[in-house]
Amino acid sequence: DTALFKNQWQLKTASQEDYVRLVEQKFRPIKKQLEEELIASGLFEPKAVYGYFPAQSDGNDVIVYNPNSCGDGRPRPSGRSEAPQNELLRFTFPRQKEGRKLCISDFFAPKSSGKMDVIGLSLVTIGAKASQETQRLFEAGEYTKYLYLHGLSVETAEALAEYLHKKIREDLGIAGEDSPHIRDLFHQKYRGSRYSFGYPACPNLEDQTKLFALLHPEENVGVRLTSGFLLEPEQSTSAIVVHHPSAKYFVV
């Protein structure tokens, strides 16, 4: 709830004591009431689409192959030695110019190794109804209600993305490395990482078109791309999921 109250609902206080008091007396009851209204109205329609694809690195590129052309198509970390077939597309990522000179492609088995790796792709959404209602509230000048609903919908989409990432780690057989403490999971205390387009490690929003070509989210969950390569409905998020133990957030 901290991200919701502080980041989305803009709760700012002079002391921790004031923060705790306002949360318990005002903001937590508002959240509870809003959640009850959302359950009754069905305004939130959480949906997700995800998939696994054979992959290898080639310099700064991650090559994505047709899963039907590589073994049995089951998701698993790198280690198999199989000849890849039918390259579908490539993601090209920037590399740090200083420091460790990291690039997302570093976390995949190189093409030259002869080993096939796996890349996870995901997209989640809270649905069009929530987006339409927040727009209605804003246009009607009901800015406080807009702030509360918009903030909760954005954080719910993020929570759904975290839930799906957990499911993907389970599918890949690496969830056993998760911290047993929920708070730690918000600080990447698990194996691998989830990278979203538009953020420092993969800043190119246009790469969303490649994810759409692989997952078909418009048909599957009703999410489309705008002309600026943003997701619509707004309360949606997509990601590349990497299983490598050294994969964490970094800035290019």
Cα 244 to its chain centre, rounded Å, is 17
DSSP characters for 154-187? Answer: HHHHHHHHHHHHHHHHHHHT-GGGS-SSHHHHTT
- pLDDT for 217-245, tens place per residue? 999 999 999 999 999 999 999 999 999 99
pTM: 0.87
Mode of pairing for the β-strands spanning 115-125 and 47-58? antiparallel
For a pLDDT cut of 70, what percent of the chain falls above it? 92
- The fold for domain 45-126+160-252 equals Cobalamin-dependent Methionine Synthase; domain 1 (3.10.196)
- pLDDT for 75-129, tens place per residue? 666 554 455 568 999 999 999 999 899 999 999 999 999 999 999 999 999 999 9
Cα first-last separation, the chain: 30
Region for 200 from its dihedrals, namely left if φ exceeds 0, alpha if ψ lies in -120 to 50, beta otherwise:
alpha
- pLDDT for 16-65, tens place per residue? 888 888 889 898 999 999 999 999 999 999 999 999 999 999 999 999 99
